[in-house]
Structure 1
Amino acid sequence: MFVRELRLRDFRSWREVDLTLKPEPTIFVGRNGFGKTNLVEAVYYLAHLRSHRVSSDAPLVHSGAASATVTGTVENIGRELTVQLQINAEGANKATINTSPARRARDILGILRAVMFAPEDLMLVRGDPSERRRFIDELVAQRGPRWAAARSDYDRVLRQRSALLKTAGAALRRGGSDADSVISTLDVWDGQLADLGAQVTAARIDVLRELTPHFTATYAAIAPHSRPATLGYRAAAGPEVLPVADEPAAVEQIAQVLLTRLGELRSKEIERGVSLVGPHRDDLDIVLGDDVAKGFASHGESWSLALALRLASVELIRAEGIEPVIMLDDVFAELDAHRRAQLVGFTESAEQLLITAAVPDDIPSSIGGRRVGVGVAEENGTRQSIVTEITTGEGAT
């Protein structure tokens, strides 16, 4: 799998760029702030429908423009699909597949499978649970739009139920018939939250079970003298949601556990006006030896664990018979010689490798392919990114 054509219009610092890419390493070289990361961010967006750097779409649209357009032609085992995304600064985004409108933007998920390595990955180990939930949800969503649909529907129900909890608190304080009506409505939303939450939780647990052996093996290769690393799922509803041994997660069992816990915590939830149970409160435990890595692992161990998570993600996709596009966003500058060597060895078999670097010397000499220079130009008082040169790289091909 590789991206053959990439076209951007009004995406971040790029007013307009058309790139022809090949199944080989391509290294985007430019000073910090010149826009090289924006190129791989656009490819990442085509695969995940989100940026790896910001949580909203508005910053992706060039200043002064109403929308940005990202178009990618993806080739996979001789089959070619062209995906176009219109990213709006306000309102819903639009997508087309081979010029035909997609019913929803998420219908393009799975057409491009891509894994990004970036300095932000350190937050997978050291950051908040939301970082790790996003990581596992992306792995689930790349398996197709129906997986993303369950999470989207869950988020919608969660917002509506949370609003109802606030209403319930006010109604109970007033007393009267309003309180009974609100509580009855809350019963309905509890059922929906439990059903959708069970689908999201089960999908996460199943993907995590497949990911863990790859993670353990890749961490051992990166840090052979460290303690063994593994992954675990921590559910706010309790360990009852977890399957026994290697059995698949049971959606019905998880739904019943969630429904029971929602009933037990209803008074507390109404008092606080928030939903306290569900996959939005769960976490992924990254375990080193017998300890959860967050707050315990050293800086070097944290980088190794983060790198192992991304390498394991690649192996997970490869296990499905797909070779994903691999992107390295200025990561060589963050790694020591041993980790650089491990990363080079792991990615040398990639069909397409996209790399960004501020300093060309940060790129190991064994990586060949093409170098694309990225610079900036001023036009009508507006700064924009431009391609300055394209050259054949030295080293292995």
Structure 2
Amino acid sequence: MYLKALYLKQFRNYQEQKVEFSAPKTILVGNNAQGKSNLLEAVELLSTLKSHRATRDRDLISEGTSVSQINATIERAYGSVDLSLRLHYPGRRTVTVNQETLKRQIDFLGLVNAVQFSSLDLELVRGAPERRRAWIDSLLVQIEPIYAHILQQYQIVLRQRNALLKNLKSGQTQLDPAQLALWDAQLATTGSRVIRRRDRILKRLAPIAQTWHSSIAGNSEQLTIRYAPNIIAEAEPPEKVQQAFLDKIQQRRVAEQVHGTTLVGPHRDEIEFTINQTPARTYGSQGQQRTLVLSLKLAELKLIEDVVGEPPLLLLDDVLAELDLLRQNQLIETIQDHFQTLITTTHLGAFDAQWLTSSQILTVEGGKIV
């Protein structure tokens, strides 16, 4: 997979910019707040239709305008693909593939595969559980695009059920057991699909990450990754997961009505990382946490390549400064020219001469490539 060209119009601080990529590695260099990360964010949007830096499209559209556009030409194993994503405020997004507008955004997913690694990813280990849930959901969307629809279905049911519980708590609605049972059943059905897919992908990812972790840590540490769903210890057959879901809802029925919100479901799941049987979140050193995150990112690269049949893009957002020389070398040796890589940095001192001579170097100033 190779990103040949990227065109931005009224996206973040880019008014209009086209970039053609001429080497397996592209280094974007410039001071902070010039637009380096924005360019990577545009590629991330093409990959997952989401940004880890913004939740609203209005924040992605240049100030004073109402439409933003991202175009890209991607070379895949099966041929070249032209992609376009238009953001409207107000209004809905439109996505096109080879000049054909798609009716469903889900059909756009999977056309660009990318792994993003930024300094913010250290929150994967030490941050709140929702950070880890967002990470695994983003990976799943790329490997199994239908998961975006499954997750959306669950979130719709969750919002409706939460609204009912909130009204029950405030006294605006009288308890109707039949109505609540209907939402319980839908929550269990949609939620069990989310649980089983998260469990399945983590079981594939964990051994790859463990191998990388042992290599980087010198076989002195044992990494364990465990999915800890809110419902059941392990994803059983669908009917058992759904029944466990309903049983747990029954157990928390009174508490849910007191709090006015749903306390049961994958929106409360956890992913546990332990090193030598010690929780990495609370007891891991900074070095151990960095090794863990690097291992996860390298595992993502390998897993996506195994599933889709070609290497994904790698987006490194000012991350080399966060890694010591050992971890930098491990990452650089893995990349070589196998993964097309876009790297942002404020200075070129972190790169050796061989990297600099084999890379395309672009300077970013004020939303322009100069």
2:283 alignment partner, SS class = coil
TM-score, L = length of structure 2 = 0.95
Is the contact between residue 326 and residue 350 of structure 1 (CA under 8 Å) also seen in structure 2? no
Matches of 1:169 and 1:33 in 2, distance apart?
Answer: 45
Residue 179 (1) aligns with residue 174 (2): yes
Which residue number in structure 2 is paired with residue 360 of structure 1? 348
Give the SS at the match of 2:261. coil
Q: Which residue of 2 aligns with 1:110?
A: 110
Matching residue's letter, 1:155: Q
Specify every segment of 5 or more residues in structure 2 that has no aligned partner in the other structure, as ranges: none
Answer whether contact 2:74 2:80 (CA < 8 A) is retained: yes
Of 197-206 and 86-95, the range deviating more from structure 2? 86-95
Whole-angstrom CA distance in 2 between matches of 1:15 and 1:148: 30
Q: How does 1:1-397 map to 2 (within 5 A)?
A: 1-22=1-22, 24-171=24-171, 179-180=174-175, 182-224=176-218, 226-239=220-233, 242-243=234-235, 249-320=236-307, 321-367=309-355, 368-376=358-366, 385-388=367-370
Asked if 2 retains the 8 angstrom alpha-carbon contact of 1:49 and 1:106, the reply is: no
Q: Identify the range of structure 1 (221-230 vs 42-51) with the bigger mean alpha-carbon deviation.
A: 221-230
Is the CA contact (8 Å cut-off) linking 1:27 and 1:369 kept in structure 2? Answer: yes
Task: Give the Å deviation of 1:117.
Answer: 1.0
- CA apart distance, 1:89: 3.6
Deviations 1:141-176 (A, max 9, x none): 1124311100011111100000011122344xx8xx
Give the Cα–Cα distance (whole angstroms) in 2 for the partners of residues 4 and 144 of structure 1: 24
The one-letter code of the counterpart of 1:328 is L
Pairwise CA RMSD of aligned residues? Answer: 1.6
Contact conserved, 1:325 with 1:350, CA < 8 A, in 2?
Answer: no
Q: Aligned with 2:169: secondary structure?
A: helix
Residue 350 of structure 1: SS of its match in structure 2?
Answer: coil
* Same amino acid, percent of matched pairs: 33
Rounded Cα–Cα distance in structure 2 between residues aligned with 1:22 and 1:139 = 27
Q: Is the 8 A contact 1:109 1:143 kept in 2?
A: no
In 1, are the aligned partners of 2:232 and 2:241 still within 8 Å (CA)?
no
Any conservation in 2 of the 1:330–1:357 contact (CA below 8 Å)?
Answer: yes
Normalising by structure 1, we get a TM-score of: 0.89
SS at match of 1:294: helix
8 Å Cα contact 2:27/2:359 also seen in 1: yes
The question of whether the paired residues in 1 share the 8 Å contact of 2:25 and 2:337 is answered with no
Task: Give the secondary-structure state (helix, strand or coil) at the position aligned to 1:70.
Answer: strand
Q: How many residues align?
A: 367
Matched to 2:190, the amino acid is L
Greater relative contact order (Cα < 8 A, sep 6+): 2
8 A Cα contact 1:30 1:373, kept in partner: yes
The alpha-carbon deviation at position 86 of structure 1 amounts to 1.1
Letter in 1 for 2:238: V
Q: Is the 8 A contact 2:224 2:277 kept in 1?
A: no
Shift of 1:93: 1.7
* Segment drifting more, 46-55 vs 193-202: 46-55
The letter of the residue matching 1:194 is A
Cα distance in structure 2, aligned partners of 1:161 and 1:364: 55
Q: Which amino acid in structure 1 is aligned with residue 51 of structure 2?
A: S
